[in-house]
Amino acid sequence: MHIVILDGKASNPGDLTWDALRNFGDLTVYAQTLQDDVVLRAAEAEVLITNKVCFNADLFSQLPCLRYIGILATGYNNVDIAAAERCGVTVTNVPGYSSDSVAQLTFAHILNLTFSVAVHTNSVRDGDWCRNDMFCYWLTPLTELAGLTLGLVGFGAIARKVAAIAEAFGMNVIAYTPRLAVGSEPLPNVRAVTLETLLTTSDIVSLHCPLTDENRELINAGRLAKMKPTSLLINTARGMLVNEPDLANALTSGKIAGAGLDVLASEPPQHDCPLIGLKNCFITPHIAWGTLAARQRLLQVAVDNLAAFLNGEQKNVVTKKIVR
């Protein structure tokens, strides 16, 4: 069996091993693959492993040997699932592997914004403390989390972990998702509310939902206008949940106080991305999932998914059951 990994560098830049996949057959690993090179590199592959390479109906038609695609991620919007089903290709994903890590970075952004950690670190590095005549100083208001309201948009595994951390800080937690009945308590001390209530009452709004056609640019000018001028926006989910020019305008005009983002609409971003360079917008390069522990789990589940497929079993399959 011929197995091809199309973009292995992101998941494994060299600190992990692909040996477990080699046990299933002949393995070829590419660090990155441009869309135009997919057919050339995958023409004879029965199994493809990828993170972000896109597959549409036309591409499937050019890969007659393909039986299986293993997505090295939780999201699988880069694959036309209906086209995969029509072509008899099984697609799997890896849910839940990075929940702890993403929750951790969510609070890294929250803590940075509420205590201006980066701002004060740079100030000390520039010698400001050495020149100060006081034993302490601060350049921005410092905000205590206890008693603040955290609004979670989406309430899956990651949001639930974020809620638990927030509770430990003494925060009030509310959540919105269409699946939650308004007024219900999906977890103790977490109350389900409407999206409008969440936006108008939260001190911090944190996005934890998958990207769908329905929620693309969920956060736009109209919804940002509903938020408090002192509020913060955190996005560790998907960049296209946010209209970036609208967010840039809200940040520069003072409609909201700050943002912490780990994802952008285009990755890597263009140099003219309106959010890059704003003093109250802190951006990390899609690193929430990248801890060693999370990536070890990712690869292990990917191996388990493929082993299950080869044994005729279903594990983390996102396509319907296929008989080829």
Those residues with Cβ within 8 angstroms of residue 278's Cβ, 6 or more apart along the chain or in another chain: 248, 251, 252
* pLDDT score, position 213: 87
Query: For the chain, how many helices (H) and strands (E)?
Result: 12, 12
Classified by CATH at the fold level, domain 2-97+292-310 comes out as Rossmann fold (3.40.50)
Q: Are 280 and 249 in contact (CB under 8 A)?
A: no
Query: Which stretches does DSSP call E strand in the chain?
Result: 2-5, 26-29, 47-50, 68-71, 90-92, 149-153, 172-176, 190-192, 204-207, 232-235, 258-261, 281-283
- Cα→Cα distances 209→83, 177, 241, Å: 24, 8, 9
* pLDDT score, position 323: 46
Q: Which two tokens stand for residue 64?
A: 């007659």
* pLDDT score, position 321: 57
For the domain spanning 99-283, the CATH number is: 3.40.50.720
Q: Average pLDDT in the 202-229 region?
A: 95
* pLDDT score, position 77: 85
User: Does residue 233 surpass a pLDDT of 50?
Assistant: yes
Q: Average pLDDT in the 256-268 region?
A: 96
For the stretch 26-35, pLDDT in tens is: 999 999 999 9
Catalytic site residues? 238, 267, 286
For the stretch 161-170, pLDDT in tens is: 999 999 999 9
Return residue ranges of the chain for CATH 3.40.50.720. Answer: 2-97+292-310, 99-283
For the stretch 175-192, pLDDT in tens is: 999 999 999 989 899 999
* 194 confidence band (pLDDT: 50, 70, 90): very high
Q: Which two tokens stand for residue 307?
A: 């082993």
User: Does residue 123 surpass a pLDDT of 90?
Assistant: yes
For the stretch 92-117, pLDDT in tens is: 999 999 999 999 999 999 999 999 99
User: Does residue 88 surpass a pLDDT of 50?
Assistant: yes
User: Does residue 265 surpass a pLDDT of 60?
Assistant: yes
* pLDDT score, position 60: 95
For the stretch 47-74, pLDDT in tens is: 999 999 999 999 999 999 999 999 999 9
In percent, the amount of the chain with pLDDT more than 70 equals 99
User: Does residue 324 surpass a pLDDT of 60?
Assistant: no
> What's the CA gap between 186 and 177, in Å, rounded?
11
* pLDDT score, position 322: 53
